[in-house]
Amino acid sequence: MCYADMIEEKQIFVETSVYKEIISKVHKNKTVIISGEPGVGKTMLGKQVALFYLGKYHTETFINVSDMNDLYTALKINGKKVIFFDDFWGGNQLEKIKVQNVSKELTRIIKTVKKRNDCILIITTREYVLEQGLKYNEELRNIVKNINWSALYNNILMLINCKFIMAI
């Protein structure tokens, strides 16, 4: 995924009220988890939120990560950055041990990002995969449970049917 592709997609992206609300909440919370069924537009929405922060807040770096090692490396990079982790847990059923370990790491990372002023973290995942992760990690489940903003949006015309979870 490259910046030029994101700019091209912006030409067809519709800035819905969902998008605008996410923008305002991400500024405060610094992390968003976008979950939904396959093909509903999670990735495009996440990329457009990232693009907003790259332009509006003069973020210096966009980092697309594909695993936890990449994520840890991205957090070490100096300067303002947007980190995008698409399809975080993948699309398959998760092994219980893998979920427990990775969701503990995710919990630590969310807490770390919340304290920082140089980073926005955007994560996408499939809804049923997120539910599995929450099932096996009480701390992550509590973070999500205590969130002050959580909503399910379903707008077929805009190709969005995602649940947005703001980490605090």
Tokens of 66: 């594909």
pLDDT digits (tens, 9 = 90+) for 25-43: 787 788 888 888 888 888 8
Find the angle CA(52)-CA(133)-CA(49) to the nearest 5 degrees: 5
With a CB cutoff of 8 Å and minimum separation 6, the contacts of 148 are 166, 168
What is the arithmetic mean of pLDDT over 41-49? 88
Confidence (pLDDT) at 157: 30
What sign has the CA pseudo-torsion 103, 139, 63, 89? Answer: positive
* pTM for the full predicted model: 0.81
Confidence (pLDDT) at 65: 93
pLDDT greater at residue 21 or residue 151: 21
With a CB cutoff of 8 Å and minimum separation 6, the contacts of 145 are none
Dihedral of CA atoms 101, 135, 18, 5 in degrees, nearest 10, equals: 30
Mean residue pLDDT of the chain comes to: 76
pLDDT digits (tens, 9 = 90+) for 126-161: 887 778 777 877 888 777 665 533 333 333 233 344
- Segments of the chain assigned E as strands: 31-36, 61-65, 81-85, 119-126, 150-155, 160-166
